[in-house]
Amino acid sequence: MAGPKGFTIIARPNTIVAEDGFPLEAYWLERAGARQGDRGLVFYIQGSNDEPVLNAMAHLAGFVMLGMRVLLVERRGVHANGTLDATASRQYATRSQRVHDVLAVLRNGLDNRQSPAPVMLAGVSEGGSIAVSVAAVEPRVTHLALFGTGGWPQAEELRHFVREQGGYLGIASLSELEAKFEEIRTRPDSDELWLGHTFRRWSAYLWHAAVDDVGRLNIPVFQAHGMLDQSVPLASARAIRETIASQGKCSLRYVEYETLDHRFRDPEGKSGLALVEVDILRWLAGTGVLNEKEARHFEEQVRRNHPERFG
């Protein structure tokens, strides 16, 4: 959620030492020159890219504007100045490590917080899968928001696209894909690269299904997915919706955007995040984080700031 013009946020750094002694670079986002409220905590979890997590600050400003505290943590090896320690990035690029790191930073933030206000995890793409796993084991998480996240194992998502699109990511056939999967199975700790990631990283994600953790949740969930997504199949996102519906333990607001892709951009490359922001506000009102008057007020601001989407 982006803030209005003239609204400035700053990132306050906070180093958290993980169980293995690794220093995790975390940040609290705050409004410049204003007393920080705490009507809720939002922990943002980025996807698989090695860009600094602070690149998402502009998209998170709206949560700060709502009086919520926003917490972020860099992936291991990534630094706020844009440099990358490739050795550390490859060594620690496993799913279990990301889950443990997010839990360490989240629990540090919660243990030093007195507010009973809601605690929301907001995960993007692969980060959504991490968020689901964290929410499944940390009972203080009260809300979950997923953006471009699928419920299938990544192996099945790749199979889907290779079946549907010849030459997807340069993969000629399903047999070629399965041969690569078998190679990764036999060398799961290898630093050999495939599609920009090490075998170690792929072995940690290819066969894990987010729906397995979704079935353990009993909190309100918001899920947004672009119907033009070419990274996570629409059917994989719908698998989360179907799992929640079959379990009957969570409330879910699920929204598909017909003209948006994995990054919530339209075919012309223009951002459609304003559409998602309006739906998030309605969800926050529906789950009691905001009252209806507040939600309408902020929705009107979003609409005024984005005449290209709501004009």
Any domain includes 2: no
Any domain includes 64: yes
Any domain includes 4: no
* 102-110 average pLDDT score: 95
Tell me the per-residue pLDDT of 292-304, one tens digit each, with 9 for 90 and over. Answer: 999 999 999 999 9
Residue 176: what residue type?
E
196: left (phi over 0), alpha (psi -120 to 50) or beta: left
What proportions of the chain, in percent to the nearest 5, are helix, strand and coil?
A: 45, 20, 40
Any domain includes 82: yes
Any domain includes 34: yes
Length of the chain: 311
Residue 38 — very low, low, confident or very high, per pLDDT cuts 50/70/90? confident
The CATH number assigned to the domain holding 241 equals 3.40.50.1820
Any domain includes 1: no
What whole-number percentage of the chain has pLDDT above 70? 97
Q: How many folded domains does the chain comprise?
A: 1
Mapped onto helix, strand or coil, the DSSP state of residue 4 is: coil
pTM of the complete model: 0.94
195: left (phi over 0), alpha (psi -120 to 50) or beta: left
The kind and range of the H/E element at 26 are strand 23-31
63: containing domain = 9-310
pLDDT above 60: residue 3: no
Indicate the range of 42-51, 109-118, 138-147 predicted with least confidence.
Answer: 109-118
Tell me the per-residue pLDDT of 124-174, one tens digit each, with 9 for 90 and over. Answer: 999 999 999 999 999 999 999 999 999 999 999 999 999 999 899 999 999
Tell me the per-residue pLDDT of 175-213, one tens digit each, with 9 for 90 and over. Answer: 999 999 999 999 999 999 999 999 999 999 999 999 999
Any domain includes 264: yes
